[in-house]
């Protein structure tokens, strides 16, 4: 497994080996790695044009009328 991981891992898509003996530990480790990567990426919502914002407001009004 080590050889396969070393030969196929790249900087863009690295292999990350996590312990799997205890499911709770695996889940905590994976959650930590995901949060860390998302913080590095700094994701943000795309910005809308003024026309897009107007369409969004109209759609919201329509949806609010349905309830």
Q: What pLDDT is attached to residue 32?
A: 97
Backbone region of residue 55 per phi and psi (left: phi > 0; alpha: psi in -120 to 50; beta: other values): alpha
Task: Provide the sign of the torsion angle of the four alpha carbons 50, 56, 60, 66, taken in this order.
Answer: positive
Tens-place pLDDT, residues 36-49: 999 999 999 889 99
Q: What is the pLDDT of residue 67?
A: 67
Q: Is 12 helix (H, G, I), strand (E, B) or coil?
A: coil
Low-confidence ranges of the chain (pLDDT < 70): 67
Cβ neighbours for 15, distance < 8 A, ≥ 6 positions apart: 5, 8, 9
Please report the pLDDT score of residue 5 as a whole number.
87
């Amino acid at each position: 497994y080590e050889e396969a991981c070393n030969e196929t891992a790249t900087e863009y898509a690295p292999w990350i080996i996590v312990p799997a003996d205890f499911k709770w530990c695996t889940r905590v480790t994976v959650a930590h790695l995901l949060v860390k990567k998302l913080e590095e990426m700094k994701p943000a919502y795309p910005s809308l044009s003024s026309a897009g914002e107007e369409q969004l407001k109209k759609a919201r009004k329509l949806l609010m009328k349905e309830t």
